[in-house]
Structure 1
Amino acid sequence: MKSYLISLIIPLNLCIFLVILGVLFAIFKRKLLSFFSIMAGLSWLLLWSLPITSLILGGYLENRYPYTPPSISPTAEAIVVFGGNTANNRANWFGNYSKQTRHARIDTADDLFFMGKAPKIILSGAALEGNVSEAQGMAMQLRNRGIPKENLLIENKSTTTRENAFFVDKLLKQEGITKILLVTSALHMPRSMAVLQNLGYHPIPAPNPPQIVLPPGLHPFLPNTRALEGSRSIIKEYIGLMTYYIRGWI
C-alpha cells in the first residue's frame, strides 16, 4: 500500500495523472475542474523541482539527529547498519554521482570500527535483486577493508525499516547486546531511531554526513532536475513516518 502511495504522489507521476484528469474534465466541459486539476499537477511538479523544497523538508529530517564525526562518537557494544543507499550515496543531494566523493553507510561503520567505537558490526538488509543480500554485500566490502569475519553479524531477511529493527532485535538479544551505535543516512535516521526506540532500545545515532546541502552556484528557487529526482526519497520518508505512526510501529 505504501509503495503504491509513494508511486502515485511522486511529482512527475502525480502531475501526469492530474493533467490527464484535467483533460478529461475539459472533454466533459467541466472547465473549472479542468483548470484546477491541471494547475495542481503543474504546481506539485514545480514545487518539488525547487531546491528550497528539499532543503526545508529533507533538511528538517536530516537535522533531527545532527551528524557527529566518528572520532568523537561515544563507544557501544555494536554498530548496527541499516541497508539502503539514499540518493545513491551522493556526497551532495544536488550533485552528480561520483565514486570518489560518494559516502556509503559502510564507510561510516568502517570509520567507527577502526576508531574503536564498538567491537562488532551488525549488517541488516535482504536481497533486493539477485541472490546476494544487501547485508552480505556490505559484509564482503568490510572484510575487504580488513575487518575480520568474526566481528561481523549478518541479518539478511529484512526488506523494510521495520523489518530491519525486528530482525536486528533478535540478533541483539541472542548476543546480549543493549548499547548500539545506529548507522544509516541522515534522512533515514528519524524513522530508524523511532522503530528501535519502540522496541525498547536507546540507540546512539551515527548518521552519514548530511546530503541535502546547497552547493555553491545553485539557486534555491530555480528548478533543478536533481531536486526533482531526489524528491522520491524525501516523500518516502514522510509517508513512512506517517504509516509507521498510524500502525503503532513508532
Structure 2
Amino acid sequence: MKSYIISLIIPLNLCIFLVVVGLLFAILQRKKLAFFTMSAGVIWVLIWSLPITSYKTGGYLESLYPYTPPVSLPTAQAIVVFGGNTANNRSNWFAPYSKESRHARIDTADDLYFMNKAPIIIVSGAALDGSVSEAKGMAIQLQNRGIPKTAITLESQSTTTRENGFYVDKLLKEKGLEKILLVTSALHMPRSMAVMKKLGYDPIAAANPPQITLTDAINPYIPNARALEASRSIIKEYIGIVTYWVRGWI
C-alpha cells in the first residue's frame, strides 16, 4: 500500500492520473471539475519542479541532524550502516552526476573506521535487485578498501528502515553492543534515528554530507528536471515518517 501511495503521489504520475480523470470529467460535461482536476495535476508537477521546494522540504529533514565531519564524532562500539542509494549518491542533487564527487554511505563508514571511531561495522540491507544483498555489496566494497572481513558484520534480511533497525538490534544484542554511530543519508537520518531510539538506543548521528544544496548556478524559482526527479525521495521520507509515527514504530 505504501509503495502504491508513493507511486501515485510522485508528481509526474499524479499529474498524469489527474489529467486522465479530468478528461473523463470533460467527457461527462463536468467542465469545472475537469479544469480544476487537470490544473491541480499541472500545479503539483510545477511545485515539485522548483528547486526551492526540494530545498525547503528536503533541506528541513537534512537539517534536523546537522552534518558533523567524521573526525569530530566521538568513538563508539560499532558503526551501523543502513542501506539505501539516495539520488545516486550525488554530492548535490541539483548537479550532474559525477563519480569523482559522489559520496556513498560506505565512504562515511570507512572514514569512521580508519579514524578508529569504532572497531566493528554492521552493514544492513537485503537484495534490492538480483541475488546479492545490499549488505554484501557494501561489505565487498569495504573489504576492497582494506577493512578486514572480521571487522564487518552483515545483516541481509531488511527491506525497510524499520527492518534495518529490527535486525540490527538483534545483532547488537548478540554482541553486547549499545553505543553506535549510525550512518545513512542526511535525508534519511531523522527516520533512522527515530527507529533506533524507539528500540532503546541513543545513537550518534553520522550522516553523509547534505545533498540538497543550492548554489549560485541554480535559480531556485526556475523549473529544474533534477528537482522533479529528487521529489520522489523527499515525498517517500515524509510518507515514511508519518506512517511510522501512526503505526507506533517511532
- Shorter chain as denominator, the TM-score bin is over 0.9
Give the Cα–Cα distance (whole angstroms) in 1 for the partners of residues 87 and 41 of structure 2.
Answer: 24
- Opposite residue 104 of structure 1, the aligned amino acid is A
TM-score, normalisation: structure 1: 0.99
Q: Please state if 1:75 is matched with 2:75.
A: yes
Q: Deviations 1:194-217 (Å, cap 9, x if unpaired)?
A: 011000000000000000001221
Q: SS at the partner of 1:153?
A: strand
Structure 2 distance, partners of 1:206, 1:88, is 19
Alignment of 1:55-134 (within 5 A): 55-134=55-134
Q: How far apart in 2 are the matches of 1:96 and 1:134?
A: 25
Structure 1 position 221 matched with structure 2 position 221: yes
Output one character per residue of 1:133-178: Cα deviation in whole Å (capped at 9) or x when no partner: 1000000000011101111010000000000000000000000000
Structure 2 CA distance for aligned equivalents of residues 70 and 241 of structure 1: 26
Structure 2 regions of 5+ residues with no counterpart? none
SS of residue in 1 equivalent to 2:68: coil
Aligned counterparts of 1:237 and 1:91: Cα–Cα separation in 2: 19
* 1:168 alignment partner in structure 2: 168
Q: Which whole-Å deviations, capped at 9, do the CAs of 1:59-92 have from their partners, x for residues lacking one?
A: 0000000000001101100000000010010000
One-letter identity of the residue aligned with 2:144 = N
Unaligned regions of 5+ residues in structure 1, if any? none
What is residue 24 of structure 1 aligned with on the other side? 24
Larger displacement relative to structure 2 (127-136 or 164-173): 127-136
Q: Which amino acid aligns with 2:136?
A: Q
Could you say which residue in structure 1 is the equivalent of 2:212? Answer: 212
- Aligned residue for 2:122, secondary structure, equals strand
More deviation, 158-167/126-135? 126-135
Partner residue in 2 for 1:6: 6
Root mean square deviation of aligned Cα:
0.5
Query: CA separation in 2, counterparts of 1:216 and 1:111?
Result: 30
SS at match of 1:79: strand
3-state SS in 1 of match to 2:217: coil
**Which residue of 1 is the match for residue 51 of structure 2?**
51
Q: Which amino acid aligns with 1:189?
A: M
Q: Distance in 2 between matches of 1:179 and 1:209?
A: 22
Instruction: Classify the secondary structure of the residue corresponding to 2:153.
Output: strand
Instruction: Report the counterpart of residue 245 of structure 2 in structure 1.
Output: 245
Corresponding letter in the other structure for 1:123: V
